Amino acid sequence: MNKQEQMLKILKDTRDYYAEDPVNRRSVDKDGNCNYTWGDNHCAVGRYLKTKYQHDHWTSNNDSIKQLMEEDTFAGFSNIDWALREEVQGLDTDFWTNLQVFHDNRHNWELKNMVIDQGLSIQGKESYNKIQTEITGGSYDG
């Protein structure tokens, strides 16, 4: 599988996973903050972290993708591969950033009685399609 196919698979898996039950699957703490891990839940990127980082006491649990990238600059790199499972390493950092924004934006999920529980909203479908187009158009090919 090439990198574009892998990113498309991750994007679709993310959409399908959270659309099934956004309220109970998203990684949001009691204050409404998105984290890589909260309890047994993981965010879009958190699901692909190495197991040793998938706990809510991880010091970088609430960092942005950019902050995770900065943690690796001492090694001369500018990516988050150091924190990701081997099978998803090597993908463009902008892809991970946009995947995270897609997941975190509550407006991407359909609202019913002010509770997110119905899958993708119209805005969410547009966001999904935009990332999909960016992937197939080579925006994340580095």
Q: Where do the structural domains in the chain lie, given as residue ranges?
A: 3-136
Joined tokens for residue 67: 């902050």
Look at residue 72 and tell me whether its pLDDT is greater than 70: no
Question: How many CB atoms within 10 Å of residue 92?
Answer: 17
Look at residue 37 and tell me whether its pLDDT is greater than 90: no
Highest mean pLDDT among 32-41, 91-100, 114-123: 91-100
Asked if residues 112 and 129 have their Cβ atoms less than 8 Å apart, the reply is no
State the pLDDT at residue 66: 86
Question: How many CB atoms within 10 Å of residue 2?
Answer: 8
Joined tokens for residue 7: 């990113």
> Which is more confident, 105 or 139?
139
pTM for this model (two decimals): 0.86
State the pLDDT at residue 48: 95
Q: Span 44-71, mean pLDDT?
A: 89
Give percent above pLDDT 70 in the chain: 89
